[in-house]
Amino acid sequence: MKKSGILNSHIAKVLADLGHTDYIVIADIGLPVPDGVPKIDLALTYGVPSFRDVVHVISEDMEIEQITIAEEMVQQNEDTFLYMQDKFASIPLSRCSHEEFKHYCQKAKVIIRTGESRPYANCILHAGVHFGATQQ
C-alpha cells in the first residue's frame, strides 16, 4: 500500500506517465471535457473537493514549469487568481481567453474535475523535468 503522496491511483499513474511539455487540467464543475480526453471526476458535492485543495496536492507531486489560466479568472474569480499568483510565484503564469483555454483542453493528458463551483477555477499545469539526484 502506498504510504504517502497522492493515493488516487488514476492521478498517480497520470503524473508518473507525464513527459516534458505534457499537461493536465484541473477544472471546476462547469468546464466541458472534450471527447477523447480522459476525465478523473473527484467532485463529491458543490465545493468538495475544492480547486485549491486539488491544486495543492497535485503541485506537491508534479514538476510544473508553467501554468495557464483563463484571463476571465482575473476579474471574475479574483480570490482564486490571487491564490494562483501567490502559490506559484516562481513559476511562469500565462493567460489566454476562456475559449482558447477550452481549445487547449483537447490535448490534455487528463482533466481532473473538482467540486469547485466558483467560475473560471481552472488551470493547465505544464510538466517540467525533475532530474533529482543522479547516480555516480
Among residues 10, 20, 126, 130, which one is catalytic? 20
> 23 among the known binding-site residues?
no
**According to the annotation, is 98 in a ligand binding site?**
yes
As given in the structure block, the three cell numbers for residue 27 are: 477544472
For the chain, helix (H) and strand (E) counts, in that order, are 5, 6
Confirm whether residue 122 is marked as ligand binding.
yes
Nearest alpha carbon to residue 120 among 48, 55, 71, 66: 71
Strand 23-27, strand 123-127: pairing? antiparallel
28 labelled as ligand-binding? Answer: yes
Instruction: Mark whether 20 is an active-site residue.
Output: yes
Radius of gyration of the CA atoms of the chain, in A = 15
Q: Residue 130 annotated as binding? A: no
User: Which residues does the annotation mark as catalytic?
Assistant: 20
> Annotated binding residues for substrate, as ranges?
28, 98, 120-122
> Annotated binding residues, as ranges?
28, 98, 120-122
